Amino acid sequence: MCGFCGFTGDAVNREQLLQQMADKITHRGPDSQGVYTDEILAMAFRRLSIIDLEGGSQPIENEDGSKVLMFNGEIYNYRELRKELLEAGHVFKTETDSEVLLHGFEEWDADLLCRLRGMFAFAVWDKHTKELFLARDYFGIKPMHYTLLPDGRLIFASEIKCILEHPDYHKEFNTAALDNYLSFQYSLPRETFFKDIYCLQPAHYLRYRDGEITETRYWEATFTPDESMTLDEAVDQIDEVFTNSVEAHRISDVEVGCFLSGGVDSCFVASYFGGQKAFTVGFDNGQHYNETNFAAELAEAVGIEHHKHLISEEEYWESLPKVQYVLDQPLADPACVALYAVSKLASQYVKVVLSGEGADELFGGYRIYHEPTSLAGYQKLPRTLRRALAAIVRAIPFDFKGKSFIIRGSKTVEERFIGNAYMFSKEEKAKLLKTIPATDPTEHTKQWFARCEGLDDVTRMQYVDINRWMVGDILLKADRMSMAHSLELRVPFLDRRVFEVASRIPTKHRIGGGTTKHALRLAAKRHIPEKDTARPKLGFPVPVRVWLRKEMYYNKVKDAFLSADAERFFNTDVLVQFLDEHYTGKRDNSRKIWTVYMFLVWYHLYFGD
């Protein structure tokens, strides 16, 4: 796991600038640094040594020195590809997966990408054609950002903070990103909060030559459910492919550990780690916010050396500015700090961990995926009647049991679902924002629903989450929180072969048996105690709702809501009303409050006075 950055063309104090950019991502690769420069391109690389500790430094050049590679990630089938490339006549100087990428690109060009099994973001510079090739993995596990300057020069990096160091990029706030963030709780890829800085989308590659960019999608996570598949067949296939994936993801020349939250996903991963180390964090706010005891029981059952840490209120709140800085962009997921803390804990013992990200999106793990089934009976009523009932209950100024059901039941899945989080509606944003136009968040998911038209509603919701929520929230925080502590985080559920199995499982085996991830839970049951497979999803639950009803934190957030930064964007009386309603127990506004507060913490770090 590493990081790299670079730019084309001239710049004042070019070598010094490249070093400044590389210094911003030292945390991604504290073990060594490499540099490549010529008359057109300057690139720098920071390395975290995992495979071929002695020979894996970058940049790496091919046999004749015509191509140069910098690579962030891990390729789990590199040994098979290496054998194929040796048979084709390529000469290797190292034992690294990085060199396999370079020779693979030399042999197959962009067709290499669909041969890979792993997580990756890499750059290949062709000295002869003067073309730069950038690529990102299938699901967006590893990051890649870039900007094209007005004169055609390109700046690219693993993290946005590197690009901000370049004096010819003039930092400007992207107001449209705030509108989207208020609904989704994260910045919508491909846009970022910095004007004209973009993230390369998952499963895309970019070619840059003579000041021009072309982007191409090379793969798509397409679901093709096989309705003839039995539940036993689904369980067998999950068991087999996931065991294979974990074995592949454990390939390393350093010790590998795992995260253990207490839920079925991480327990399933941990079941393969007998005799090794697992890491858990929780909060001292009652059992609902602390899964460390569940994790400890599982660790004992499968023979894992277990390490845990309880996060105090003070530690959590003090971490917020550090976390938002590391993220590059605001993210309102309260679990960020928990992931930051467990990464810090793990980094004291190991360099690599496996984690359970992706299981919910691939196998149907979120409770919201039950909604199509819950609404099915009600939606048999005529649509006009349902819409009329929804209009009536919307006009009632207070919440009551069944209100949300009637409103959501009046809508199609395209109208009601934008992803696992839905913070502010267009109408709420219009009241909250001063000058930034409020958009309907469903406009930003419409294209994704269109791409999976014809599938059932549950599968379409999963597809949207894979392409939006998982990229913008789950994988962003996984990468940034782990790399902040120079820790490589691997995600065996987000494996091409695992997805090939998940994509064929019919919905009745994903959302069935009265639970989520039905088939996955049955596969996990073969490896872990039954009580651990049946436990409802918690993840890293955070007591934000409780804290915001304490005077100390109420006042802290209120100060931010009345600050000059808040005045710049928001009608602050609306913000304070949200806060007061929550503080007095009138309604639970914690998620909405947190979404705005995290933005203000981030904005002060990157744009504040």
Distance CA 382, CA 377 (A): 11
Q: Taking every pair of C-alpha atoms in the chain, what is the biggest distance, in angstroms?
A: 74
User: Greater confidence, 53 or 26?
Assistant: 26
Provide CB contacts within 8 A for 544, sequence distance 6+. Answer: 334, 590, 591, 594
Q: Is the pLDDT of residue 287 over 60?
A: no
Encode burial over 60-83: b for 16+ CB neighbours within 10 A, e otherwise. bbbeeeebbbbbbbbbbbbeebbe
Burial class (CB in 10 A: 0-12, 13-18, 19+), 420: buried
What is the pLDDT at residue 217?
98
How far apart CA 389 and CA 321 sit, in angstroms, is: 45
pLDDT digits (tens, 9 = 90+) for 430-452: 999 999 999 999 999 999 999 99
| Nearest to 402, CA basis, from 426, 372, 376, 378 | 378
| Residues pairing with 126 in the sheet | 67, 131
> b or e along 92-120 (b: 16 or more beta carbons within 10 Å of the residue's beta carbon)?
eebbbbbbbbbbbbbbbeeebbeebbbbb
Predicted pLDDT of residue 529: 84
Domains belonging to the chain, first-starting first, are 2-217 (3.60.20.10), 231-365+465-534 (3.40.50.620), 543-609 (no CATH)
> For the ranges 234-238, 287-291, 530-534, which has the lowest average pLDDT?
287-291
- Beta-bridge mates of residue 148: 154
**Which pair of tokens denotes residue 27?**
């945390």
For the question of residue 2 being annotated catalytic, the response is yes
For β-strands 277-283 and 256-259, DSSP reports them as parallel
* DSSP letter string, 542-564: --HHHHTTSHHHHHHHHHHHTSH
HSE on the CB side for 242, CA within 13 Å? 32
User: Which runs of consecutive H residues, i.e. helices, occur in 218-282?
Assistant: 231-249, 264-270
**Predicted confidence (pLDDT) at residue 289 exceeds the cutoff of 70:** no
pLDDT value at residue 252: 84
Instruction: Check the CA dihedral 123-153-143-483 and report its sign.
Output: positive
Q: How far apart are CA 512 and CA 497, in angstroms?
A: 23
Share of the chain above pLDDT 70, in %: 96
pLDDT at 286 over 70: no
Q: pTM here? A: 0.94
pLDDT digits (tens, 9 = 90+) for 397-439: 888 889 999 999 999 999 999 999 999 999 999 999 999 999 9
Q: Give residue for tokens 């309604």.
A: 587
Task: Provide the CB-side half-sphere exposure for 291 (13 A, CA).
Answer: 26
Residue 245 to residue 109: CA distance in whole angstroms: 26
Q: What is the mean pLDDT of residues 552-575?
A: 97
Exposed/middle/buried for 325, CB within 10 Å: 0-12, 13-18, 19+?
middle
Confidence band for 61, pLDDT divided at 50, 70 and 90: very high
Give the residue-averaged pLDDT of 508-535: 88
- Would you call 305 exposed, middle or buried from its count of C-beta atoms within 10 A (0-12, 13-18, 19+)? middle
| Of 379, 357, 331, nearest in space to 601 by CA | 331
DSSP helix/strand/coil, 351: coil
Q: Which range among 197-201, 308-312, 488-492, 512-516 shows the weakest confidence by mean pLDDT? A: 512-516
Average pLDDT over residues 377-390: 94
pLDDT of residue 393: 93
Spatial distance between the Cα atoms of 294 and 298, rounded to a whole number of angstroms? 6
- In angstroms, the Cα distances linking 53 to 3, 9, 77, 83, 92 are 16, 33, 18, 21, 16
Binned at pLDDT 50, 70 and 90, residue 535 comes out as low
CA dihedral 149, 150, 152, 158 (to 10 degrees): 10
| pLDDT at res. 176 | 94
Closest CA to 268 of 79, 530, 495, 553: 530
How far is C-alpha 596 from the chain's CA centre? 20
* Residue with tokens 């962003």, as numbered in its chain: 476
Cβ contact 566:575 at 8 Å: yes
Quickly state the pLDDT bin for 343 (edges 50, 70, 90): very high
What confidence category does residue 50 fall into, taking pLDDT thresholds of 50, 70 and 90?
low
Phi, psi of 157 (to 5 degrees): -170, 160
Lookup result for tokens 């509603």? 457
- For the chain, the average pLDDT equals 93
Give me the phi and psi of 89, to 5 degrees please.
105, 5
Residue 276 per-residue DSSP state: S
Q: Is the pLDDT of residue 221 over 80?
A: yes
Q: Judging by DSSP bridges, how do beta strands 145-148 and 212-217 pair with one another?
A: unpaired
State the Cα–Cα distance between residues 288 and 271, nearest whole angstrom. Answer: 23
State the first-to-last Cα distance of the chain, in angstroms, to the nearest integer: 35
Length of the chain: 609
Q: What per-residue confidence (pLDDT) applies to 164? A: 98
